[in-house]
A = this chain, B = another copy of it.
Amino acid sequence: MNLRLDIAYDGAPFHGFARQPDVPTVQGTLEDALGKLFGGPVATVGAGRTDAGVHALGQVVSVADAPADLDPVKVRDSLNGMLAPSIAVAVCAPAAADFHARFSARSRTYVYAILEGDVPEPFLAPTTLYHPEPLDLGVMNEAAGHLAGPHDFSSFGRVPPEQSAERVVYELSVRRSGSILRIKARANAFIQQMVRSLVGTLMVVGEGRRAPDEMPAIIEARDRAAAGPVAPPHGLCLVSVEYDEAWSRPLGRLRE
């Protein structure tokens, strides 16, 4: 059967989501655990290839060839026993036969968290970037307005040669809640390091070192040197992946 997993993970111990030889990755760790449960090699597809150190609350994974007779709740509980504490499977459920975690996704939503204030906070340190000086939210949102939309984002990340860097950013916004500033980015897809590069650029604007109206020229440059720095990974989290209504929810705990 086709299985959908909704997972959360602490990115710190992993070299990113995508499986690589010889280093711990989220996908590799998950596939190894599924392999033990299913008794053979298992291939998974993830909706977002999060970079090393980036966290997830709502990553979605599909497993095309899961055994037909499995009990999804037992699989979830067994995986949680094997993967704790760094990875948690929130939902494990049969999915429609044509559901594909990556290709069926309409958009991905990331949130970058920044802690402001005179004093750092040990319990927020793993998931927020500490930035003592307050950032100017107004100019950051003005700059975000320029960066949202369909653009060639070559200035903001890496793409393999010959591939397009065209993406559509549906939402890029900054809000403050207490001493935490959150930058939300939703796009049809992101090129590598794009969210962190957008965040780094918005931070430079928030610090008053660049102006919002410089953004169009940065996009036009199609040159990574034109943008701000890449913000560190630990402030970033893939919070959700959006699907069409038909796929918006797992089929529940029924067997397919």
Q: Hey, which bits of chain A sit against chain B, CB under 8 A?
A: 8-10, 55, 57, 76-77, 80, 84-90, 118-123, 125-127, 130
Q: State in angstroms the CA–CA spacing of A193 and B3 once bound together.
A: 45
Known contacts A76-B119, A119-B76; A84/B8 CB under 8 A? no
Query: Taking the full assembly, how many copies of this chain does it contain?
Result: 2
Complex interface: chain B residues within 8 A of A126 (CB)? 85, 123, 126
Q: State in angstroms the CA–CA spacing of A89 and B87 once bound together.
A: 31
CB pair B85–A120 under 8 Å, yes or no, is yes
Question: How far in angstroms is the closest Cβ of chain B from A172?
Answer: 24
Q: State in angstroms the CA–CA spacing of A9 and B119 once bound together.
A: 12
Question: How far in angstroms is the closest Cβ of chain B from A14?
Answer: 11
Complex interface: chain B residues within 8 A of A80 (CB)? 119-120
CB pair A125–B84 under 8 Å, yes or no, is yes
CB pair A119–B86 under 8 Å, yes or no, is no
CB pair B122–A86 under 8 Å, yes or no, is yes
CB pair A119–B89 under 8 Å, yes or no, is yes
Q: State in angstroms the CA–CA spacing of A130 and B80 once bound together.
A: 12
